[in-house]
Every structure is written in C-alpha cells, then in structure tokens.
Structure 1
Amino acid sequence: MNNVLIPDTNWDSNLYEDKHAFVWQYGEDLLKLLNPKPGESILDLGCGTGQLTEKIALAGAEVMGIDSAPAMIEKARQNYPDLRFEVGDARNFQVEQPLDAVFSNAALHWVKEADAAIACIYQALKSRGRFVAEFGGKGNIQAILQALYSALAAFNLPTEKLNPWYFPSIGEYATLLEKQGFDVTYAILFDRPTALAEKEAGIANWMQMFASSFLAGLSAEQQTQVTGAIEEYLKPTLYHEGTWTADYRRIRIVAIKL
C-alpha cells in the first residue's frame, strides 16, 4: 500500500492528537450509523491515530485501520498495539477478504480522485456490504478558504492547484457512487461549526495542521504574515469570546454494494 492518500502533507500526529481531537470525537456519532456488530469485518479508511478504529473493535468487529501517513499509523500502533494498522492509499488499496463494511471519518475530502477511491471501496466489500462515511461537503470552510485566498493573493501563488481538498455536494457524490454500483440509502449535508482548541491560537494551529500545502512555499516570516491576515479577515465572523470556530459543513453517506 502506497503512502499517497494525502499528497504533500506532513502530518504531525502529536499536534493532531493534542489540539484536534474534535476530528474523531465528532466521528463517534457516525459510529451509530455504522452500527458495527460482533464478528463483522470492517475497514477504517483514513483511520488517523486509531481512536474510532478502537471503538469499532470494542463492538466486537474484526477491524483494520489504514491511513496514508506513516506518522499517524505509527501513533495508532502505539495507542492500540492489539489492533492492525497499515499505511495505505484510498485510491489504490486491496483487502485479503471481502468486508462487511468500509467506514471513513474526516478523510475522503483529502482524496480528489473520488472515482478511484469509490472503486476501491466497492471492490473491498461483500455483496450487500455497506459504506459509511462522513467528510467535508459542499461549502465546507468557505469563509476560511476566502480568507486564505485573500491573504495569499499578494504572493501570486496558484491557490487552486495548492488546494488539497474535495468538498462535493450530495448530488455529485451520490451520482459517483451510483455509477459504480452502489445504492445510496442515506445522504445528508449539514453545517457543523466546530470550536477550535487553544483559544487565540486556534486558527493558526488549524492552518499548521490542515492547510500546510498553501504555506509550504513561503518563508517563516511570510507564513506569519499570512496567518495574521487570515485572523484579521475572519475575526468578525469566526472569533467569539476568545475562541475560534471553523465553519465546517459535512456530508454523511450510507451506501450499499448491490
């Protein structure tokens, strides 16, 4: 399995666990939709540091987590040494035996080649197997992106090329699933404003964790300048009583392999 699920992103697993726990804490709600049962075989696609993988295992399922980032997989193995974690690519993975379910939380918005990921997920499932996922949907972080593009305009960077994300509408993503043989049984797009940790440093930490591809070509001084401009731009709308809020919108999907 190749390490290319999230291109050009160097994940800091400690920063992720320390300041961005909301990523998996919100995902616990998605586990109710998955409803894992004892003995089921389940893949956690984009498992991060393994918190939700462990919860699936606690339900009695046989679970494996894959993620493109070796640092995340290393941390997941430290966290849960009894579970199986592998480095893997959402666009190009295979499983040894067909699975009852593929689960994915907050990962597939990093995969622009959605068709390739869906094809792999379809191949991995048994007939009537289910795909349960949540990730960034249409309109996700719209205000943050506007601020980012505005702050980067002075540097003449190819912002669209640097943008690593895929935020589809329900119609767009459901169509892709149906084309490959899935029956989409549940789909919702919803706002989920998310408070960021670390008070005043919240948006700067978020940028460091998730938007590093935009900043990679800039000097440390320029990065500080861009972050400051973004904070200034967003303060009136996303900063309240000492806490930053990310303007998240999520798409949540359940699809069955026919």
Structure 2
Amino acid sequence: MNKNSINTWNADLYDDKISFVSEYGKEVVRLLNPQEGEHILDIGCGTGDLTREIADAGALPLGIDLSSSMIEKARQKYPDLSFIVADASTFHTDQVFDAAFSNAALHWMKQPEDVIASVWHLLKPGGRFVAEFGGKGNVQIIIDSITEVLSEYGISAAERNPWYFPSIGEYSMLLEQQGFHVRYAVHFARPTPLHDGERGLTHWLESFSDDFFHDFNPAQKETIFQKIIQKAKPHLYRNGKWTADYKRLRIAAIKE
C-alpha cells in the first residue's frame, strides 16, 4: 500500500466484508496466465488469496504488502507460501521474476514512477507486468460525498486523499517512459456490490478511508459516516444493497 497512507488495515474485516476484492481479482490472474515454475511477484498481496491462486497454477509466487497485519494474516492462511512486508516503490532483491502482478493495490501508491521502476528492475527481459487498480473516476460519488461532509468541518478532502486514479493515457505513458511495451490497457466501469446489506458502505469506509478521518474520535467518525451515507444513498443504494461506483484500469505490459 502507499507508504504515505495512514490507513489502518483490519485483515479480518477485509476477509469478511471486503472479500469481493480477491473475487474480482481472479479475472486478473487469468490475464496473467501464470505458468508452471514461474517466479511471480504479487504486489500488494493483502491476505494472500490471489497469491494462492497463482501458486495453484504451478507458479512460485512471492507476496509483498506494506501492511504487517495483512502479511501476518496471509502467513496464517497460507503457511506454505512466501510473504514479506515490503514497500513496492523501494523493493529490491537479488531474485529476478518472470512476472509481476497486482490487484487493487497500485492506487494506494502515489509514487507510480518509483513503483514502475522497481518492477522494471525486478523483471527479467521479456517479463510481464499485469495489474488492475482504480482508474480515473473511481468511487467518485463516494469521494464527492466525503468532500462535501469534510468541507462542513473546514477540511479539504483533496489534501487527505490517499489514492492515485490515473487514466489509461497517463499510466501507459509512465510505463512506456520506463521502457515497457504496453500490450493491453482498458478502463471500464465495474459497479461493485458491497457486502452486508445496509451496512455495506459503512464497512467500506471503515476499511479504506482512515486517511480522511484520522484526527476524529470514534463517535465523531460515526456521525461523519452517517452524513456521507445520506449523501451517497440516492446514487448508490438500491433494494437494500449498496453498489460502489468503481472504475478500473487493467493493464498488461512487457519488459522488452
């Protein structure tokens, strides 16, 4: 995750209420197409579910994540796999990889040039980089709702926003400047149902929005969350379920 983010990761909540992250990521694993014996770096591996998918294909993955609680949970769930706490923007090792993979993590890393350079140096020639993460316009209704509520407290949400949601052109340019050949890139809307009915957006805010509310106490946060929910509800709540307005960027690039 982004080294500048102060988001506190609750690994149990992540697995219980935010498990859709890994479920959708299985499509990205298929795009990666891991092969028997390949060494693959899983960037922002979370609690390891997709690292497991990669290993089940016969590859030899290494999962990295900046969150120690996520890595601890991943090691508990999958003790036969390798996980380490590491910052993707500065990660170095003598090992070289056939591929690098990332799902729902790169938008937490606000130094994209550093991450791309790190991946480049870790890949062998011909190695591939396959990722999906938040693209331009991702969760814009939620962000707008947060922005409106924080403005009531004299706080600029933009100054606290921990996310990087680029366009296809912006991210492809960064990859090409590093020397990657971008062979596939798509930006698409993916409305995403949130688990647990009426509490779906509450779980989402509890999981992902610490950076916006780090200096509020729990009671204040609860009040703020309710205000955000009321603003977002006409747009994102239907028939007893919340659906987040996700926009995703999926890319595949080759180190030539």
Fold agreement, TM-score > 0.5:
yes
Asked whether the 8 Å contact 1:34–1:103 carries over to 2, the reply is yes
Asked whether the 8 Å contact 2:31–2:130 carries over to 1, the reply is yes
Q: Aligned letter for 2:14? A: Y
Identity %: 50
Q: Secondary structure at the match of 2:13?
A: helix
Asked whether the 8 Å contact 1:5–1:88 carries over to 2, the reply is no
C-alpha separation between the residues in 1 aligned to 2:162 and 2:106?
A: 11
Provide, for residues 77-123 of structure 1, a one-character-per-residue CA deviation record: whole Å limited to 9, x for no partner.
00000000000001100132211000000000000100000000000
Equivalent in the alignment of 1:190 = 188
Unaligned runs of 5+ in 1: none
User: What is the CA distance between 1:7 and its match in structure 2?
Assistant: 2.4
- 1:74 pairs with 2:72: yes
Equivalent in the alignment of 1:120 = 118
Asked whether the 8 Å contact 1:215–1:223 carries over to 2, the reply is yes
Given the alignment, which residue of 46, 49, 68 partners 2:44?
46
C-alpha separation between the residues in 1 aligned to 2:38 and 2:164?
A: 30
Say if 1:248 and 1:4 are closer, same or farther in 2 by CA, change over 3 A: closer
Q: Aligned letter for 1:33? A: L
Equivalent in the alignment of 1:149 = 147
Asked whether the 8 Å contact 2:2–2:109 carries over to 1, the reply is no
> Normalised by the size of structure 1, how large is the TM-score?
0.97
Equivalent in the alignment of 1:20 = 18
Unaligned runs of 5+ in 2: none
Equivalent in the alignment of 2:91 = 93
User: What is the CA distance between 1:231 and its match in structure 2?
Assistant: 1.1
Equivalent in the alignment of 1:62 = 60
Equivalent in the alignment of 2:107 = 109
C-alpha separation between the residues in 2 aligned to 1:190 and 1:37?
A: 27
Provide, for residues 22-77 of structure 1, a one-character-per-residue CA deviation record: whole Å limited to 9, x for no partner.
01100000111100000111000000000000110011111110000000000000
Alignment RMSD: 1.1
C-alpha separation between the residues in 2 aligned to 1:160 and 1:90?
A: 24
User: What is the CA distance between 1:156 and its match in structure 2?
Assistant: 1.3
Asked whether the 8 Å contact 1:6–1:68 carries over to 2, the reply is no
C-alpha separation between the residues in 1 aligned to 2:228 and 2:117?
A: 37
Equivalent in the alignment of 1:181 = 179
C-alpha separation between the residues in 2 aligned to 1:194 and 1:66?
A: 25
> Normalised by the size of structure 2, how large is the TM-score?
0.98
C-alpha separation between the residues in 2 aligned to 1:97 and 1:173?
A: 26
Say if 1:189 and 1:231 are closer, same or farther in 2 by CA, change over 3 A: same
Q: Aligned letter for 2:182? A: V
Equivalent in the alignment of 1:206 = 204
